[in-house]
């Protein structure tokens, strides 16, 4: 029996999204054309825009479609730099698409630390912005809503108040949170907020960025006047229609799985495993667990051989298994190389979580027996 528990990497495409994409591909029409086919295509796109906007409680007019979450994150950061930001503050647990874009930006970058529970240190942020140098321009702060590895939910609304008091720009990567918990971009106080289709059961290769009244987007991809002049290039209409369909149904399926996850976690803890971020609010679908003395790659391979698919942290590192920088940032260097991420999704069943725990315990018993033989 094959069990897929890597939805934080990518979720299975929902049937509703497949149906929407199929309908779109069966019709002809460029959303920028003014004839009947073009207008029909435009209507499909604007309905999807409204559905994605509803998922994150944003005005549809502020939703800009992109090629994915990575581009959405980059568009926000590059727009802030174009608006005068000369120094960036990036949380220590951000996704590579934020950290690498910041590193390549050509401006100074500072790291917002996190507590041992994986929560952003807002006291540090408050103190740092209180002594901000006006020569560094408008402060830019990137703080994700929920971490993709640990599932720990961040105090974004509180951070927003601190950033706003400093007249700064807060960017929120909500890619892992959307569709799993309620996301209200305006209540969070996000100046920009990124989401991605394939995390909620939509297709890969399409995402979106919403922006608030204090943010001005600077077009980075030039061409025609698509996306109200904010991103050139013919829109990926099939992908966008699938994104909209997934967003619409994801709203109805928020939450769930926390009890199933916790039941599995208790079984692993009884064998000596450590649940990362357990003391903090977490996404209901995400379990980050470490087993001292059993490396991440060996855990992933053992589970995979038994038909259970999980990951060793983020899936956006070219397939490499390496010690998690997120766990290192939490001061858990001793566990960073022996942690795995287990993440359910809309298609996950209670039996999937049970099967995972069964296989993990069996595999760990074999691993422990081999270590005793060597010793």
All domains of the chain in start order, with CATH: 3-11+255-374 (3.90.1150.10), 15-252 (3.40.640.10)
User: In Å, what is the CA distance from 81 to each residue of 191, 210, 230?
Assistant: 14, 17, 16
Per-residue tens of pLDDT for the chain, all 375 residues:
799 999 999 999 999 999 999 999 999 999 999 999 999 999 999 999 999 999 999 999 999 999 999 999 999 999 999 999 999 999 999 999 999 999 999 999 999 999 999 999 999 999 999 999 999 999 999 999 999 999 999 999 999 999 999 999 999 999 999 999 999 999 999 999 999 999 999 999 999 999 999 999 999 889 988 998 899 898 999 999 999 999 999 987 776 899 999 999 999 999 999 999 999 999 999 999 999 999 999 999 999 999 999 999 654 443 455 678 999 999 999 999 999 999 999 999 999 999 999 999 999 999 999 887 776
Residue 316 known to be catalytic: yes
**Angle formed at CA 49 by CA 149 and CA 315, multiple of 5 degrees:** 20
- Half-sphere exposure of 278 toward its Cβ, with a 13 Å CA cutoff? 11
Measured between alpha carbons, how far is 117 from 348 in angstroms, rounded to an integer?
Answer: 27
The residue annotated as part of the active site, out of 316, 347, 354, 368, is 316
pTM recorded for the entire structure: 0.95
From the number of C-beta atoms within 10 Å of its C-beta (0-12, 13-18, 19+), residue 303 rates as buried
Widest distance between CA atoms in the chain? 76
SS3 letters for the chain? Answer: CCEECECCCCCCCCHHHHHHHHHHHHCCCCCCCCCHHHHHHHHHHHHHHHHHHHHCCCCHHHEEEECCHHHHHHHHHHHHHHCCCCEEEEECCCCHHHHHHHHCCCCEEEEECECCCCCECHHHHHHHHHCCCHHHCCCEEECCCECCCCCEECCHHHHHHHHHHCCCEEEEECCCCECCECCCHHHHCCCEEEEEHHHCCCCCCCEEEEECCCCCCCCCCCCCCCHHHCCCCCCCHHHHHHHHHHHHHHHHCCCCCHHHHHHHHHHHHHCCCEECCCCCCECCCEEEEECCCCCHHHHHHHHHHCCEECECCCCCCCCCCCCCHHHHHCCCHHHHCCEEEEECCCCCCHHHHHHHHHHHHHHHHHHHHHHHHHC
The residue count for the chain: 375
Measured between alpha carbons, how far is 196 from 203 in angstroms, rounded to an integer?
Answer: 9
- Half-sphere exposure of 47 toward its Cβ, with a 13 Å CA cutoff? 16
Which two three-digit tokens encode residue 352? 């999937």
Which two three-digit tokens encode residue 9? 């990497």
What count of other Cβ atoms lies within 10 Å of the Cβ of residue 43? 12
User: In Å, what is the CA distance from 227 to each residue of 79, 89, 244, 305, 327?
Assistant: 15, 28, 16, 45, 38
The pLDDT value given to residue 252: 79
């Amino acid at each position: 029996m094959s069990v897929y528990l890597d939805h934080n990497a990518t979720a299975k495409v929902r049937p509703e999204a497949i149906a929407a994409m199929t309908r779109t591909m069966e019709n002809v029409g460029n959303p920028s054309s003014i004839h009947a086919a073009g207008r029909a295509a435009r209507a499909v796109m604007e309905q999807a825009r409204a559905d994605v906007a509803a998922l994150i409680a944003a005005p549809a007019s502020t939703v800009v479609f992109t090629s994915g979450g990575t581009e959405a994150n980059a568009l926000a950061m590059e727009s802030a730099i174009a608006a005068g930001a000369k120094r960036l503050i990036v949380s220590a647990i951000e996704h590579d698409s934020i950290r690498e874009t910041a590193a390549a930006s050509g401006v100074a970058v500072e790291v917002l630390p996190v507590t041992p529970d994986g929560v952003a240190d807002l006291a540090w942020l408050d103190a740092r912005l209180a002594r901000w140098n006006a020569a560094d321009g408008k402060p830019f702060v990137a703080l994700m809503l929920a971490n993709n590895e640990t599932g720990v939910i961040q105090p974004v609304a509180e951070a927003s108040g601190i950033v706003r008091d400093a007249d700064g720009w807060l960017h929120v990567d909500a890619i892992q949170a959307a569709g799993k918990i309620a996301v209200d971009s305006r209540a969070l106080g996000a100046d920009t907020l990124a989401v991605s289709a394939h995390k909620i059961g939509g297709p890969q290769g399409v995402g979106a960025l919403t922006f608030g009244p204090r943010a001005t987007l600077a077009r980075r991809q030039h061409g025609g006047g698509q996306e109200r002049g904010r991103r050139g290039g013919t829109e990926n209409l099939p992908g966008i229609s699938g994104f909209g369909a997934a967003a619409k149904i994801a709203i109805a399926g928020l939450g769930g799985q926390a009890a199933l996850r916790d039941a599995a976690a208790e079984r692993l803890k009884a064998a000596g495993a450590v649940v990362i971020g357990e003391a903090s609010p977490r996404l209901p679908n995400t379990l980050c667990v470490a087993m001292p003395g059993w490396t991440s790659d060996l855990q992933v391979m053992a589970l995979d051989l038994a038909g259970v698919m999980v990951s060793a942290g983020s899936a956006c590192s070219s397939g490499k298994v390496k010690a998690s920088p997120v766990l290192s940032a939490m001061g858990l260097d001793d566990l960073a190389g022996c942690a795995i991420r287990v993440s359910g999704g809309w298609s996950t069943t209670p039996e999937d979580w049970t099967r995972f725990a069964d296989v993990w315990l069996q595999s760990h018993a074999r691993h422990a027996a081999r270590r005793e033989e060597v010793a």
